[in-house]
Amino acid sequence: MTSNEERPDRAHERPEGVGDLTVEALGSLSKALETVERARGHLYGFHQLTGTADLELDRAVRLLREAGHAQWADRVQEEVLGRNVIPGHWTFQIVEAYDHTYYEPFRDLERGAVDALAAGRGHLYEAEMKEARRTTGHPDHTARPA
């Protein structure tokens, strides 16, 4: 094992003068952003699932017509197919509004805080936790990739 593997890379070492509370605060801010990333993923899942259901309605309308249920086909087509999920919005508009109103400002603020308070070095809290928990010299506990 090379000595490089025994030290974290520079991007994950605490810059001079950055205190414990700052590292903890930035870790908390990053953790909150990671949670928002997950929420955003669920929102995209909602978007894709709703779109898939809407596209499946085309088949339902066709099959209802073929089965002789034109009145039901018309109702599905007029009342549900292409319907807004909330007034004036399809799911893509909800995703866009979330991104512009909440996600992007949050992401930019977190990046700005890491840049300003930790010289752009992210995940310091986790990197220091890794250092505290790993077994030096163990091949599966290297500080970084070879």
pLDDT in tens, the chain (146 residues): 456 667 778 888 899 999 999 999 999 999 999 999 999 999 999 999 999 999 999 999 999 999 999 999 999 999 999 999 999 999 999 999 999 999 999 999 999 999 999 999 999 999 989 999 999 889 999 888 88
**Segments making up each domain of the chain, as ranges:** 7-133
3-state secondary structure of 89: strand
The DSSP bridge partners found for residue 78 are none
In the chain, the amino acid numbered 82 is G
Nearest-angstrom CA–CA distance, 4 and 139: 13
Interior angle at CA 144, CA 141 and CA 145, nearest 5: 100
Nearest-angstrom CA–CA distance, 33 and 117: 17
